[in-house]
Amino acid sequence: MVKCLDEEKVFYNNLYPFTDLPRTGMESLKWNLYITDTTLRDGQQAWRPLKIEEAVKVYQLLNELDAGSGIIKSCEFFLYTDKDREVVRRVKELGYDYPKPIAWIRATFSDLKLVEEAGLDKAVILSSISDYHIYYKLRLSRSQAVEKYLSVIEEALKKGISVRASLEDITRADIYGLAIPFIHKVFDLGEKYGVEVEVKIADTLGLGLPFEEVPLPRSIPRIVKALIRDGGVPGEKIEFHGHNDFHMVVANHVVAWISGASMSNCTLLGMGERAGNCPLEAMALFYVQLKGTTGGMNLKVLKKIKEFFEEIGFEIPEFQPILGANAFRTKAGIHIDGLLKNPQVYLSYDPNAVLGIPYTVSITPYSGRAGVAFWLKSMFGSSSWEDMKNDPRLAEIYNEITEIYKTGRTTPITDREMITLLKKHVPEILEKYRDKLPRHLRGLI
């Protein structure tokens, strides 16, 4: 064995603290970062309509995740059905400050009336900005579309309703010829009536890219910086909403933050139209990586969110980061051996410390004796099982496992099957540590 001197070890603990999330080295970002939610708008329209109780529970979980920090700033709601309006009524009754319930409407006076009737004081107003949408969907000219949007926006502001103009399809829009001149008019109206206005930049088809080298209108950082520098829009008034059609949504949301757009519009678990939206949980973790602090958010609520959505039938892909079943689970023996020696070898952070989600293993023919030893460690809560890796009895258990897979089996060995194998080969372990087993397994002994 080669002896490694202390001064030769480079672990970058300032970037990878392990008991906390990794850092980016960008913690000196001066502007505020916020998360806004559209699970109850873009999310449910792409999955299934949520029942009233389910929608209210989602809102309560978002409030619990925010934990009074104000980081999860707002939550969008439809107002089109009796059910939608009842959800908003129930949510308002809760009286939570965060996330603030806001409406999402089309640029029509009938939709604006729904906002008034619901008693909401803020609305996202759809303002499709690309020529694809203006000419092919709305069948209008640019000037007609702008007039249509501004008429509704002005009426909202007259009534004291704050507006977030949603620039739909921004990544196919004429940024300097249409988007920025329109934004100027929106902000002029806000100043005229003394009511807050904001802008949502929506990468509706997921075409955006996180590179400044890419030309407008595809470059997300260029769009954000153009709005701030040339549009005169304060970064705190800019929200970015992306889609994941090219697997770029998280990268685009992070670069929008870094470029100065304070608000990141997401959905829980990334549910949304087509390939989905940006997962809110991803941005919650990136907030910590960029700021070096949770800011007061309670990240352990993410586990409750995962469990709730699974209970109501939402299938989280096994390999989805953070909340997928396989996110902190390994089946490979060489990885398990590294985890046994030091979990930092194959984990970027301790998920149990950060999220309350333990890292686990699944026993397959590729898990090796290290997999059996790790299973013992995770089941009985001791770090001494690594020493048993070379115990001949563990070799017998593993040999029997490999024989099972010769029959054509493809699924992992269950905990119940592992208990049966222990009873056969190492019964004294079960006798000594029976009380450490989950209750549903103790009856097997």
pTM of the shown model: 0.90
DSSP letter string, 11-43: --TTT--SSS----S-TT--S--EEEE-IIIII
Quote the tokens at residue 167: 């620039």
Per-residue pLDDT of the chain (445 residues), as tens digits, is 455 555 688 999 999 999 999 999 998 888 999 999 999 999 999 999 999 999 999 999 999 999 999 999 999 999 999 999 999 999 999 999 999 999 999 999 999 999 999 999 999 999 999 999 999 999 999 999 999 999 999 999 999 999 999 999 999 999 999 999 999 999 999 999 999 999 999 999 999 999 999 999 999 999 999 999 999 999 999 999 999 999 999 999 999 999 999 999 999 999 999 999 999 999 999 999 999 999 999 999 999 999 999 999 999 998 999 999 889 887 665 666 666 677 788 889 999 999 998 888 888 888 888 888 888 877 776 555 556 667 788 888 989 999 998 989 888 888 888 889 988 988 888 887 777 777 767 777 7
For residue 201, give the 3-state DSSP assignment: strand
- Do 95 and 73 contact (CB within 8 A), yes or no? no
- Do 76 and 37 contact (CB within 8 A), yes or no? yes
Written in H, E and C, the secondary structure of 174-185 is CHHHHHHHHHHH
pLDDT of residue 125: 98
Q: Give the residue from 126, 120, 104 showing the smallest Cα distance to 267.
A: 104
Residue ranges of the domains in the chain?
34-311, 329-442
- Do 163 and 157 contact (CB within 8 A), yes or no? yes
Where b means 16+ CB within 10 Å and e means fewer, 305-329 reads bbebbeeeeeebeeebebbeeebbe
Phi-psi region of 12 (alpha: psi -120 to 50; beta: other; left: phi over 0): left
Cα gap 65→304, rounded to integer Å: 10
Domain 34-311 has CATH 3.20.20.70: yes
pLDDT of residue 1: 47
pLDDT of residue 340: 64
Say if residue 95 is exposed, middle or buried (CB neighbours under 10 Å; 0-12, 13-18, 19+): exposed
Quote the tokens at residue 115: 């906002």
